[in-house]
Amino acid sequence: MMKPRSVAIIGASRDPAKVGNVILQNYIGAGYEGKLYPVNPNADEILGRKAYKTVLEIKDTIDLAVIAIPAPLVPKVLEQCGKAKVRSAVVVSGGFAEVGETELQEKITEIAKKYKIAMIGPNCLGVMDTRSKVDTLFLPMKKISRPKVGYVSFVSQSGAVGSTVLDVIAGEGFGLSKFVSYGNAAYLDETDILEYLMNDEETKVIVVYLEGIKRGKEFVELARKITKVKPVVVLKAGRTEAGTAAAHSHTAALAGNYAVQEAIFKQFGFTVASDLSELIYYAKIFASEVKPKGNRVAVITNGGGAGVVAADEIASSRYLKMAELSAGTKKSLRKVMPALVNMTDPLDLAGDADSRRYGDALNALGADPNIDMLMVIVLYQTPGADPAVTHEIVQKKITLNKPLLVVSVGTEYTHKQTRLLEDKNVPVYDSPISAVDALEALFEYAEYKSRH
Partner 1 sequence: MALLDYMQAKKLLDRYGIRSADSAYVSSADAAAKFAKGRKIALKLVSDKALHKSKAGLVKLDLENDAAVTKAYDELVGLGKKLKPYKILAQNMAGAGVEIIIGGNTDKQFGKVLLVGLGGIYVETFKDVQMRLCPITKMDAKEMLDGLESRKVVTYDGRSENEVADLLMKVSKLLTENAKIAELDLNPVIVRPGSYDVVDIRILE
Binding site for partner 1 (CB under 8 A): 213, 216-217, 220, 247-255, 257, 259-264, 266-267, 451-452
Closest approach, Cβ 302 to partner 1, in A, equals: 37
Partnered with residue 154 across adjacent β-strands are 179, 207
* CB closer to partner 1, 259 vs 340: 259
* 291 contacts 369 by C-beta, under 8 angstroms: no
Establish how many alpha carbons lie within 13 A of residue 114's alpha carbon, considering only the half-sphere containing its beta carbon. Answer: 13
Q: Which residues, 6+ apart, have CB-to-CB distance to 134 below 8 Å?
A: 1, 2, 3, 4, 7, 27, 32, 64, 127, 128
Of 418, 316, 331, which is closest to residue 376 (Cα–Cα)?
418
- Residue 175 Cα to chain centre, angstroms: 8
* 183 contacts 157 by C-beta, under 8 angstroms: yes
* CB closer to partner 1, 220 vs 420: 220
**Prior bond of 387 cis (ω within 30°):** no
Closest approach, Cβ 268 to partner 1, in A, equals: 9
- Report how far residue 374's alpha carbon sits from residue 376's, in angstroms, rounded to the nearest whole number: 6
From residue 166, give the alpha-carbon distance in Å to each of 231, 302, 320.
Answer: 19, 34, 31
* CB closer to partner 1, 223 vs 435: 223
* CB closer to partner 1, 263 vs 340: 263
- Report how far residue 417's alpha carbon sits from residue 19's, in angstroms, rounded to the nearest whole number: 38
Residue 143, Cβ density class (10 Å: 0-12 exposed, 13-18 middle, ≥19 buried): exposed
Closest approach, Cβ 113 to partner 1, in A, equals: 23
Closest approach, Cβ 332 to partner 1, in A, equals: 38
* CB closer to partner 1, 171 vs 216: 216
Closest approach, Cβ 250 to partner 1, in A, equals: 5
Closest approach, Cβ 218 to partner 1, in A, equals: 11
